[in-house]
């Protein structure tokens, strides 16, 4: 008997993923390729810019945009599945706008790397200023598109309540995290006095380019707004991962098997994450390095940990009692 093997079979999952949202998935593939290029650049290109290998920024951005594209492509597919029609079409359009403009942003970043100069906050020449302004307009449009899709997630019905809460809470915090990036565009008094060639910065209290964490570049001497920006943007991955962990633990711990218990624990995790995000933002704006927290910051962190622990205990204790009875 002859068995016919379909050549397309191994590509089934890939085709399914591309059906989520083709523009965002295409962007994800491009970002995966750019990540490899960026790693190669860091190995082969010895140039340094603002204290980091010159290919560090495009590599980090490529990885972040890759994660963004995959996550939001899946969420738009979720909206399409549960809210077909006009809502789905508008969400798809918002995703397309985000994909195109994020692609534009990465093209500019790579172009500036090739030219040997910075992409962000750069107003040193007419060309650099025009590219920076184009990036600014693009990211605002991406933020609005992301906000729109986030709003549509609250209209999705028919999924597990804990999963719905994790997705919606993660999306809201991700939008907040994206918005925190706008704080970096405010010029400092020193920049205004210097004439405005560089407008905005990642670091608070010190010029960009000082000592920082390897690869990440986050300042080890001053505040750094990239930290809350990064943490907030990736809430959309972090909070659903908490839920996945709860679902896996429920196999061995019956107290977690109740959907309402997981729903409430996701709420506790969301509150804790939001508090950490607020603390990191406050710390950065005070010009304090994440590596050197003062007593007030440590005390605030301790309060957050205690609050999350207490919240989890208040959820689990009655659930455990109900199970024993």
Average pLDDT of the segment spanning 258-265:
92
Residue ranges of domains in the chain: 18-158, 161-325
Taking phi over 0 as left and psi of -120 to 50 as alpha, with beta for the rest, 217 belongs to left
Sequence-separated (6 or more) residues with CB below 8 Å from residue 194: none
- What pLDDT does 83 receive? 86
Q: How many CB atoms lie within 10 A of CB 178?
A: 19
| pLDDT over threshold 50, residue 4 | no
| pLDDT over threshold 90, residue 50 | no
Q: CB–CB of 184/201 below 8 Å?
A: yes
Range 18-158: architecture per CATH: Up-down Bundle (1.20)
Q: How confident is the model at residue 1 (pLDDT cuts 50, 70, 90)?
A: very low
SS (HEC) of the chain = CCCCCCCCHHHHHHHHHHHHCHHHHHHHHHHHHHHHHHHHHHHHCCCEECCEECCHHHHHHHHHHHHHHHHHHHHHHHHHHHCCCHHHHHHHHHHHHHHHHHHHHHHHHHHHHHHCCCCCCECCCHHHHHHHHHHHHHHHHHHHHHHHHHHHHCCCCCCCHHHHHHHHHHHHHHHHHHHHHHHHHCCCHHHHHHCCCECCCCEECCCCCCCECCCCCCECCCEECHHHHHHHHCHHHHHHHHHHHHHHHCCCCHHHCCHHHHHHHHHHHHHHHHHHHHHHHHHHHCCCCCCCCCHHHHHHHHHHHHHHHHHHHHHHHHHHHHHHC
Name the residue among 189, 66, 92, 107 with its Cα closest to residue 149.
92
Q: CB–CB of 290/298 below 8 Å?
A: no
Question: Which of the two residues, 23 and 118, has the higher pLDDT score?
Answer: 23
| pLDDT over threshold 60, residue 12 | no
Question: Which of the two residues, 121 and 54, has the higher pLDDT score?
Answer: 54
- What pLDDT does 94 receive? 96
Give this prediction's pTM.
0.86
**Least confidently predicted of 3-7, 88-92, 283-287:** 3-7
- What pLDDT does 124 receive? 84
Q: What is the mean pLDDT of the chain?
A: 88
Q: How many CB atoms lie within 10 A of CB 97?
A: 18
Token pair listed for 93: 């359009």
Neighbour-count burial of 241, counting CB atoms closer than 10 A to its CB (0-12 exposed, 13-18 middle, 19+ buried): middle
- What pLDDT does 228 receive? 94
| Highest mean pLDDT, choosing among 183-192, 254-263, 283-292, 293-302 | 293-302
| pLDDT over threshold 80, residue 3 | no
- What pLDDT does 200 receive? 65
- What pLDDT does 272 receive? 97
Tens of pLDDT, residue by residue over 168-197, are 999 999 999 999 988 887 766 555 555 566
| pLDDT over threshold 50, residue 2 | no
Q: How confident is the model at residue 119 (pLDDT cuts 50, 70, 90)?
A: confident
| pLDDT over threshold 60, residue 283 | yes
- What pLDDT does 66 receive? 96
How many residues make up the chain in this entry?
325
- What pLDDT does 325 receive? 66
Name the residue among 175, 222, 174, 173 with its Cα closest to residue 202.
222
Average pLDDT of the segment spanning 33-38:
96
Round to whole Å and give the CA distance between 193 and 196.
7
Name the residue among 152, 15, 43 with its Cα closest to residue 93.
152
- What pLDDT does 195 receive? 59
- What pLDDT does 314 receive? 94
The alpha carbon of 141 is separated from its chain's Cα centroid by a whole number of angstroms, namely 16
| pLDDT over threshold 50, residue 7 | no
- What pLDDT does 10 receive? 44
| pLDDT over threshold 90, residue 222 | no
């Amino acid at each position: 008997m002859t068995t016919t093997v379909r050549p397309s079979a191994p590509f089934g999952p890939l085709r399914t993923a591309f059906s989520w949202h083709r523009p965002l998935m295409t962007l994800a593939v491009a970002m995966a390729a750019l990540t490899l290029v960026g790693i190669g650049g860091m190995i082969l290109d010895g140039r340094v810019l603002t204290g980091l290998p010159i290919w560090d920024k495009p590599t980090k951005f490529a990885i972040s945009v890759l994660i963004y594209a995959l996550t939001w492509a899946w969420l738009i597919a979720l909206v399409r599945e549960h809210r077909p029609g006009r809502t789905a079409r508008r969400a798809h359009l918002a995703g397309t706008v985000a994909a195109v403009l994020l692609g534009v942003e990465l093209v500019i970043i790579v172009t500036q790397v090739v030219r040997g100069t910075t992409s962000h906050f750069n107003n040193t020449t007419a060309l650099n200023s025009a590219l920076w302004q184009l990036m600014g307009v693009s990211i605002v449009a991406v933020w609005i598109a992301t906000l729109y899709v986030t709003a549509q997630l609250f209209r999705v019905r028919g999924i597990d309540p804990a999963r719905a809460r994790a997705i919606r809470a993660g999306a809201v915090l991700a939008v907040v995290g994206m918005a925190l990036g706008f704080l970096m565009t405010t010029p400092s008094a020193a920049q205004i006095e210097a004439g405005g060639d560089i407008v905005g910065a990642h670091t608070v209290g010190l010029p960009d380019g000082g000592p920082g964490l390897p690869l990440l570049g986050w300042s080890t001497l001053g505040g750094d707004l990239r930290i809350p920006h990064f943490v907030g943007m990736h809430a959309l991955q972090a909070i659903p991962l908490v839920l996945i962990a709860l679902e896996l633990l429920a196999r061995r711990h019956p107290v977690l098997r109740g959907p309402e218990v997981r729903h409430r624990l996701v709420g506790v995790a969301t509150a804790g994450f939001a508090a950490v995000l607020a603390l990191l933002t406050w710390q950065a704006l005070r010009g304090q390095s994440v590596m050197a927290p003062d007593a007030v910051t440590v005390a605030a962190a301790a309060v957050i940990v205690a609050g999350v622990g207490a919240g989890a205990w208040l959820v689990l204790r009655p659930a455990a009692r109900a199970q024993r009875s």
